[in-house]
Amino acid sequence: MKKLINGAETVLEESLDGFAAAHADILLLGPERKFVRRRTLKPGKVALISGGGSGHEPLHAGFVGRGMLDAACPGQVFTSPTPDQMVEAAEAVDSGAGVLFIVKNYEGDVMNFTMAAEMAGREVASVVTNDDVAVEKSTYTTGRRGVAGTLIVEKMVGAAAETGMPLAALKALGEEINRRTRSMGVSLSPCTVPAAGRPNFTLADNEMEMGVGIHGEPGRRRVALTSADAIAAELCEAILKDLAPKPGSEVLLLVNGFGATPLIELYLMVNSARRILDGAGLKVTRFLTGSYVTSLDMAGASVTVSVLDGQAKELWDAPVHTAALRWGA
């Protein structure tokens, strides 16, 4: 194992210290590194909190800031954060308008955020993301996995929260965005968890995993490596079959890298996926390309398609200022 670390047991703590120092104008690190929070809170705004196991950076801490999350709770690598982390984050960022938890559909995340909501002693609602069409269930989930579509929910709901939208409306908005969003990924190589010191699954040089999860969980099938066009076709066809968008719909296309895929390949995948969506009668009017929901050093990518309406476009285009996403005023 070759990694830029000092010791497997201190990876998260040292990374969080560096992250907080590098983005001190945007965020603060909470006591005992239990959460990352916005440096400047907006009074009267519903507080948005997300979190999950580390190793998926910049998800979630990289999306803390104006126009997205108020706080994020990092667990150990591929391990859910604990309920006390969410409770303390809620205490730190709730300005009186309530708290919305945005939770990826993994068993540990759902269980711990549910416990935190019961323990928080304040008004809390939750949105669970489950955009992965690859498999209905896995050993990590009680249904479809929450993957890169979580970013889209966090961005749009975050923009709505900035306008003063109340908690119940934000929950309904998040659930609607989740319903209009689907993802599927492909892995070309495994990833290596520092504490394990070895890859968490194996792939031959001529193999890929179609429908892989962001922890390396198995997908639909293991197949021979093929062209980017063929990979994009399988991913998009699975997404469109499930999403069933109306012809002529406007969509957002997110091509997300898993951590070890260069941008030249991700943009090539954008080109392939865009042609397929065009051929299906859809209009790709918004794009996001890069490594945003990663799996340590895994090579591969996911495609996410989200159906847009006027409100969704406005929320996506709204200003955002976080460590990983920045645009607008």
Query: Which domain CATH number covers 261?
Result: 3.30.1180.20
| Catalytic status, residue 60 | no
Q: Are residues 187 and 264 in the same domain?
A: yes
Q: Is 90 helix (H, G, I), strand (E, B) or coil?
A: helix
pLDDT of 138 higher than 90: no
Do both 39 and 171 map to the same domain?
A: yes
Are 25 and 89 members of one domain?
Answer: yes
pLDDT at 139 over 80: no
Domain assignment present for 96:
yes
Q: Is residue 173 part of a domain?
A: yes
Q: Is residue 325 part of a domain?
A: no
* 23 included as an active-site residue: no
* Of the candidates 256, 129, 251, 248, the residue with the CA atom closest to the CA atom of residue 184: 256
| Residue found by looking up tokens 């490594």 in the block | 291
Strands of the sheet containing 65-66, edge to edge, are 65-66, 320-322, 326-327
pLDDT at 167 over 90: yes
Find out whether 187 and 298 touch, Cβ atoms under 8 Å. Answer: yes
- The number of distinct structural domains making up the chain is 2
Quote the pLDDT of residue 328: 94
Where residue 14 sits, what CATH number does that domain have? 3.40.50.10440
Backbone angles phi, psi at 305, to 5 degrees: -125, 130
Confidence of residue 135 (pLDDT cuts 50, 70, 90): confident
Q: Residues of the chain with pLDDT > 70: what percent?
A: 99
E strands in the chain: 27-29, 36-38, 47-54, 65-66, 71-77, 99-104, 124-129, 181-187, 207-210, 221-224, 250-257, 283-290, 300-308, 320-322, 326-327
Give the separation between CA 106 and CA 115, rounded to whole angstroms: 14
By C-alpha distance, which of 247, 283, 329 is closest to 66?
329
Q: Is 3 part of a structural domain of the chain?
A: no
Q: Residue 293 carries which DSSP code?
A: S
Instruction: Indicate whether 21 and 124 sit together in one domain.
Output: yes
Q: Is residue 329 part of a domain?
A: no
Report yes or no on 259 lying in a domain: yes
Q: Which amino acid is at 172?
A: A
Looking at 23, 56, 60, 321, which residue is catalytic?
56
Closest CA to 235 of 250, 225, 217, 220: 220
Q: Are residues 149 and 99 in the same domain?
A: yes
Residues 262 and 190 grouped into a single domain: yes
Give the domain range for residue 218: 181-320
- Among residues 23, 60, 215, 321, the one annotated as catalytic is 215
180, 208, 226 — which closes off a domain? Answer: 180
Q: Are residues 308 and 194 in the same domain?
A: yes
280 shares its domain with 145: no
Query: Residues 174, 197: one domain?
Result: no
Do residues 227 and 141 touch, judged by C-beta distance below 8 A? no
| Residue 240, pLDDT score | 98
**Do the bridges between strand 65-66 and strand 47-54 make them parallel or antiparallel, or are there none, so unpaired?**
unpaired
Average pLDDT over residues 236-241: 98
pLDDT tens digits along 252-264: 999 999 999 999 9
Query: Is 201 a residue whose pLDDT tops 80?
Result: yes
Report the DSSP pairing between strands 207-210 and 221-224: antiparallel
pTM of the model: 0.97
Q: Are residues 79 and 118 in the same domain?
A: yes
Nearest to 142 by CA among 128, 125, 154: 128
Kindly state whether residue 136 falls inside one of the protein's structural domains.
yes
Q: What is the mean pLDDT of residues 229-243?
A: 98
